[in-house]
Structure 1
């Protein structure tokens, strides 16, 4: 008998969930308004980044820095010996669970040997890298050691006296401070960069002595002239600040502005080289060398024979060897203009105040810090007051007992049970339970005259101290005086001279104009249909024979100009590439020349269609389309202040292009059409009739009324055309259809 077939039960899709588990709405697409997604997902993330990660608070620290420093303080690294960085990183993860790499990177930046901070907080030992070097990487945490710098004593002073609030850490196993009770404005003592969501912060550092003195002056007069007290920032890497009073005033009052910083250098006459020892804080040695190398390769800098990085244990040193007879001052002026040897620090003083991001000037930040520090001092004073009041309360009870020691001894001796000693003392002397507990714990050896006299004197001292502390709490002026004394001590103990010099007399940059430094001499330029470019000097051209070209290629553009002229190459991707004749090497007629698409690193499949030369961007570009339209664009529309090398949307690509033409002044144009009924036509029209457009990629205006299947074939200046009756083809209004080309004029048209 055949066995009955049994139906196999399908295995559950997710066996780990169990057989009877069903996920509601599994596999369904749920539509949700984008506003709900932003509110429930994006906004919490954005606020978390802003409030808990990227922006510093008024104590000068982001959460990552604060957690690390507090962990090191708890490990006893303020007074003790250094320990392995890996040990510090591991301990910090109790407060900061974002991974060891992020924690160690934070500690490296705060290290003295990294030279990122003007007032470093970590005493580092080992390779911590250098902030001014992109390639000088720091060693792993297992190889380096660290402890806190002595200045960190000012960060944690009286932190155990309830000066700041503490909150539980991420898993509730310990607590951490919400801010540090810093005794000086650390928020402005070091550079701070933070990139949040929709906002950022970039705070520059100021000299510690100037900062403390300015804060003291501001506490005396909130309208004090900060420009006299702290005239400019002070960067750890030094350099020279090109002082701009208007920009500096914006930084001091509004928290925004741009500060120009340039490198410091010296000329070694004996070795004919330039030694650069200080660079701006926004760049690195490698970035500077890369830019100088690029300029040398392009031929813009010809005075340099060699360049090398000689940075060692003594500090940064970038050496540039000069060719014989070169002027180092002129070379440095050009390098300042063309390389990161001169750069700008963009200030954006965005700080969290009460959990809200605010962009404040230096004055407002210092006033906020004064308010924060005043609250810390007030809380510390109140904590000390409470401690002394408790001590006085205990001594008052002891005083009552000591006046009649025999009675106290008798009460204790006659008490049957130990638990009744405290209540009996309370009844016998009229003291409270706390005082009675304190008295009951006194050792028998202390019941002597000396002990009694000392405690009596302590009561008098406590009463005076309590009165003084109460006076401090009542008088804000005394709190300000305490803060000013602390600031004076910090400036005296940890202050140092400025590292960044201030140049009030700005150097004349006219001599450093890059264009004036380009060797200028007559040249003739050639551009071929296949996209090859040649630049030949008159002497070489006179000695040359026929131009060498690829098979089937021909020269379509020739012009006599100078080596400093600008070249514009319009491509089939509706883009224009800008260059200078000086960027192409002088050549001869016997070579093919430079292939422009490769030289200018054009996109794949992109080739130049048209080239024009200009020195002042005078005239117009005319774009003729096969559908009869024409766009007239001022050549000045392609001029940029930033000297960009490529511009998008150089012309409209919505219609097929028929011709391009550059005219330096208004002139008469000859427009040929073909393909229509009746044969080819010709229009002679003044370019002044074509209105100019401001937008480069405009579609243009209707210029030619085309017959069916007709199109614009060619366009050229009318000068040089030999026509029997030119008035036949001239038009006074647009659009126009033109006139049929006569037989006697066809020969001329065909020869174009």
Structure 2
């Protein structure tokens, strides 16, 4: 093979000159040169200062430009141009990318550049360099501190016109603190960030005890501390990395299960794994939900802002266990990522894989060398200054003769020579005396010079002691590291866990089990469900918040229907209801949710009860204000969320709805004129949903039905009636209450007039409230607080006793083993 080249001859005409070369040798040489350039000049950091060449050049150039933290920001393009023109001839994009990374708090544990403007996010690119501004961060000043005191070597730049440092003094272990990543030729590096305080503590321990083991150092550095926080799961891989330089660990987002809405729980994500942005997580979750590979998520919102920081809210569907959904998110999305540690760095110009102890040792050796060179430089400078001060002091002691010698000399050279000979001065001292203005040669300046001489001698002695003692030199290094950690240290952000707490081979159910339960509806309009289907406890020491209107047996993933006074039944999911914890006393629905959160009611429409939607379940019994009764055949449509269960006449409303669990139960009407009618349920034949029912009770005059329900005649039951005036405003009367035994009321036929339930006193002409059900009876106010009821009376047609508070609803015992009964429906 051959390579064709052209060379200009002397006559100005170009001619071809063909050189025969071996292609394999040319490729080998070119590839090695390229690989060497990438490894040593671009991709790998130096183990001493943790910087790649481009990063080191940026910091040095910004320091030379005077872009300190106390100065104003300058355009990033100005920094990039200076770095590219003087030190780094590899293109502006590479320089700006490195500058941006050093300014990103989510990329660097301790940022070295203070950026002003849009420097990007984990998901978005930064603005162009002409739009952003930058200056050195305070921590970067520790990286370049004392660089002008001969602490590091310098080398010529690419064209030999400038010089650049081969390494930074680096007052803190930057490689461990900020980590590094880079891909070279045939090798790569990927180092995790750590906490400055922990790394400095380990370095100081190594300085104090050079033979410290890895276990000793890991007491100070237990693991990485990522800029974005999160949680690290499993520490075995971290120890492998600290021992051998290679290892892996799992990063998890920091999440919490919270009540994100009155009806739903959600997973709130406040921290994500390192180098993972929220948009990436959101996109992945949406893809999985669309592909039906991830279940249980109803909504996803990114509520992140500059005040609260990251906040992803993942709303969980009712019926799914949030902890199980979270495990699926960890498994399928970037909310859990693996970080592979590969500690490759340059040591003495060679790439090496280093463990924690080796990384700390290289840095400590470098810092000791920097401190020694700085001490030598400072002692030399002070010795040079002391030499000049001593010369000035000699001149001041005989100032008149010095002036006479200078005045009598023909030129400065002769004056310098005569001063050297007359006062035994060095040439440097003589020149300094000649250059010193006469105004400084006063008695006052003599005192200042004496004080300066004493200070210089003390500093020289101190520096000499440091240089003469390895112990003192190490102490200086350790004290300076402690000061840096005190100045720039921050608390740990990443939580370290040995394991996730959940075995990977243990199957966590994703959905809530379809266990039996009871659905409860209270007089104040609250809905809830119990944790199981055990019968409700009998009324003992009752501390319940409310009385129950309806109790329906169902399953967690089943459905129940809400019945309104307009004859509508509205389907709701049981799993959407809040769960009441198991208790040994009647349940309190103070933890329930208002029924209005589950159904949309029209103006004037109220809920009177709930019923099962199971076609094989008990039928529903309804009673209306105009005395109509109906038993509904449970043939409810499966494809509709709301439907009519009775055809009402104009002006009529449903006053009660209850499940009929047995044909032996009674249907009971109580009217406003204090009439009670009971008859067996067998007296009413079941009808389809569109039917309007049949006559249930005969009403006299303007009377209307105020309560309808189902009562088990085999149980001990009570009838509660509260009488008042029809002219008073609703809800303002206390009224007179009477409690009687249900057995005192004889059963009669359907559509008859019933028997009297209470005798009205003076000022009473109507029943305000009525209820019949299992004993004992209890009453509550309109806010659900208990109201004392009078003692039970034997006469069914007796008059009532005046109450102390207004009663809004009445209920009874719900502890029967044969199933729950109903209470009073809420009033308008």
TM-score category by the smaller chain? 0.5 to 0.7
Match of 1:40 among 25, 29, 39: 29
Q: Contact (CA 8 Å) 1:333, 1:509: kept in 2 or not?
A: no
- Structure 1 residue 163 corresponds to structure 2 residue 154: no
Partner of 2:593: none
Match of 1:427 among 417, 421, 430: 421
CA drift of 1:308 comes to: 3.9
Counterparts of residues 699-718 of structure 1 (less than 5 Å): none
Counterparts of residues 519-668 of structure 1 (less than 5 Å): none
Partner of 1:195: 183
- Structure 1 residue 213 corresponds to structure 2 residue 206: no
Partner of 2:454: 460
CA drift of 1:463 comes to: 2.1
Of structures 1 and 2, the larger Rg is shown by 2
* CA 1:302–1:199: 2 relative to 1, 3 Å: same
| C-alpha separation in 2, matches of 1:483 and 1:15 | 59
Q: Contact (CA 8 Å) 1:334, 1:513: kept in 2 or not?
A: no
Partner of 1:85: 76
Task: Tell me the alpha carbon deviations over residues 425-479 of structure 1, each in whole angstroms, 9 at most, x when there is no partner.
Answer: 1121222211111112222223332222332332233222212211111111111
Partner of 1:256: 246
Counterparts of residues 308-707 of structure 1 (less than 5 Å): 308-313=301-306, 314-510=308-504, 513=507
* CA 1:14–1:435: 2 relative to 1, 3 Å: closer
| C-alpha separation in 2, matches of 1:15 and 1:402 | 72
| C-alpha separation in 2, matches of 1:228 and 1:303 | 42
* CA 1:438–1:275: 2 relative to 1, 3 Å: same
Task: Tell me the alpha carbon deviations over residues 172-205 of structure 1, each in whole angstroms, 9 at most, x when there is no partner.
Answer: 2322211111111011011310100000001101
CA drift of 1:16 comes to: 9.8
Partner of 1:71: 61
Match of 2:17 among 18, 24, 36: 24
| C-alpha separation in 2, matches of 1:281 and 1:262 | 9
Partner of 2:161: 173
| C-alpha separation in 2, matches of 1:311 and 1:100 | 32
* CA 1:127–1:425: 2 relative to 1, 3 Å: same
Task: Tell me the alpha carbon deviations over residues 580-620 of structure 1, each in whole angstroms, 9 at most, x when there is no partner.
Answer: xxxxxxxxxxxxxxxxxxxxxxxxxxxxxxxxxxxxxxxxx
Partner of 1:568: none
Instruction: Kindly indicate which of the two structures has a greater share of residues assigned to helix.
Output: 1
SS in structure 1 at match of 2:298: strand
Aligned length: 498
| C-alpha separation in 1, matches of 2:490 and 2:81 | 34
Match of 1:152 among 140, 163, 169: 140
Match of 1:186 among 151, 155, 174: 174
| C-alpha separation in 1, matches of 2:32 and 2:57 | 25
| C-alpha separation in 2, matches of 1:270 and 1:318 | 11
| C-alpha separation in 2, matches of 1:442 and 1:15 | 62
CA drift of 1:392 comes to: 1.6
Task: Tell me the alpha carbon deviations over residues 7-61 of structure 1, each in whole angstroms, 9 at most, x when there is no partner.
Answer: xxxxxx99999874321128xxx46162x23442111110111111100002011
* CA 1:491–1:201: 2 relative to 1, 3 Å: same
Partner of 1:648: none
Structure 1 unaligned segments of length 5 or more: list them. 1-12, 521-752
Match of 1:96 among 81, 85, 88: 88
| C-alpha separation in 1, matches of 2:168 and 2:125 | 30
| C-alpha separation in 2, matches of 1:299 and 1:456 | 86
* CA 1:486–1:416: 2 relative to 1, 3 Å: same
- Structure 1 residue 234 corresponds to structure 2 residue 225: yes
Q: Contact (CA 8 Å) 2:6, 2:17: kept in 1 or not?
A: no
Partner of 1:596: none
| C-alpha separation in 1, matches of 2:133 and 2:256 | 36
Task: Tell me the alpha carbon deviations over residues 206-252 of structure 1, each in whole angstroms, 9 at most, x when there is no partner.
Answer: 111111111111111131512211111000011111132x3222222
Partner of 1:283: 276
CA drift of 1:324 comes to: 1.7
SS in structure 1 at match of 2:155: strand
* CA 1:351–1:138: 2 relative to 1, 3 Å: same
Task: Tell me the alpha carbon deviations over residues 629-668 of structure 1, each in whole angstroms, 9 at most, x when there is no partner.
Answer: xxxxxxxxxxxxxxxxxxxxxxxxxxxxxxxxxxxxxxxx
- Structure 1 residue 142 corresponds to structure 2 residue 126: no
Q: Contact (CA 8 Å) 1:226, 1:252: kept in 2 or not?
A: no
CA drift of 1:67 comes to: 0.9
| C-alpha separation in 2, matches of 1:499 and 1:479 | 33
Task: Tell me the alpha carbon deviations over residues 54-98 of structure 1, each in whole angstroms, 9 at most, x when there is no partner.
Answer: 000020110111111111112211131111222222222122222
* CA 1:471–1:278: 2 relative to 1, 3 Å: same
Q: Contact (CA 8 Å) 1:282, 1:344: kept in 2 or not?
A: no
Q: Contact (CA 8 Å) 1:253, 1:364: kept in 2 or not?
A: no
Q: Contact (CA 8 Å) 1:337, 1:512: kept in 2 or not?
A: no
* CA 1:430–1:320: 2 relative to 1, 3 Å: same
Match of 2:102 among 102, 107, 110: 110
| C-alpha separation in 2, matches of 1:270 and 1:278 | 18
Q: Contact (CA 8 Å) 1:333, 1:511: kept in 2 or not?
A: no
| C-alpha separation in 1, matches of 2:117 and 2:283 | 28
Structure 2 unaligned segments of length 5 or more: list them. 514-828
Q: Contact (CA 8 Å) 1:333, 1:512: kept in 2 or not?
A: no
SS in structure 2 at match of 1:25: strand
* CA 1:14–1:73: 2 relative to 1, 3 Å: closer
| C-alpha separation in 1, matches of 2:384 and 2:437 | 20
Q: Contact (CA 8 Å) 1:282, 1:345: kept in 2 or not?
A: no
CA drift of 1:142 comes to: 1.7
In the TM superposition, structure 1's runs of 4+ consecutive aligned residues that sit over 6 Å from their partners are 13-19, 516-520
SS in structure 2 at match of 1:160: coil
